Amino acid sequence: MHVWPSARILEHLITYTDEPDKRNIQKAAEILRAGGVVIYPTDTHYGLAADVRSRVAIERLLRIRGLPDASTVSLVCADFSHLASYTLPIPNTYFRIMRKALPGPYTFVLPASGLAPRQLQNKRKNIGIRIPNHPVAGMLITALGAPLASATLSEKIDGVDYQFRDPEEILSKYFDSVDVFLDHGWSEGQPSTLVDLTGDEPVVLREGKGEIFW
């Protein structure tokens, strides 16, 4: 697979118009498919994404974010049909919670299926999965035809996670690292609520934007 060059941001595409330009989304999907790394908006924060099918692109994403491994990288899907392919069968009680929560600002930790990339699994062979409620994210995944391997666009500063929200700051910080920035204006910068669904009861690992309703 051809790996997209990473000398600069090749495309800075505006997506906060009334109707996001499908041609821009398709262009970003093509770059992802070629091994590129993209910054894109979600319903919580900006994410850094690679095509989940590309091991090389995921490794590049890790280098950009300074992550030691991909177990903290989530699988971001467009809908439940995508999600179901990458997890083991979900118990009905948990499926009802997810149906109510998604699309939305939640990340659910679930047992990974054989199709889930090993890079994204933790030592217990679990994987974090999201379906964001954001039109650009959904359009990008649909255009790609596969989920995204995605990490929050943030870094540790004095031991605290700093979320990059300002498009100008993002351009300055990542100009020489990524291939596309799908600019949707200032992001909210609040993390998703992280919930572990691998045990007998749901366990909230991080409280974020998503309300705990169960």
pLDDT digits (tens, 9 = 90+) for 83-110: 999 999 999 999 999 999 999 999 999 9
- Confidence at residue 109, expressed as pLDDT on a 0 to 100 scale: 97
Whole-prediction pTM value?
Answer: 0.91
pLDDT digits (tens, 9 = 90+) for 1-49: 444 444 445 588 888 777 788 899 999 999 999 999 999 999 999 999 9
Q: Where are the domains of the chain?
A: 11-206
pLDDT digits (tens, 9 = 90+) for 50-75: 999 999 999 999 999 988 887 789 99
Instruction: Provide CB contacts within 8 A for 213, sequence distance 6+.
Output: 100, 101
CATH fold, domain 11-206, is DHBP synthase (3.90.870)
44 near 208, Cβ under 8 Å? yes
pLDDT digits (tens, 9 = 90+) for 168-203: 999 999 988 999 999 999 998 889 999 999 999 999
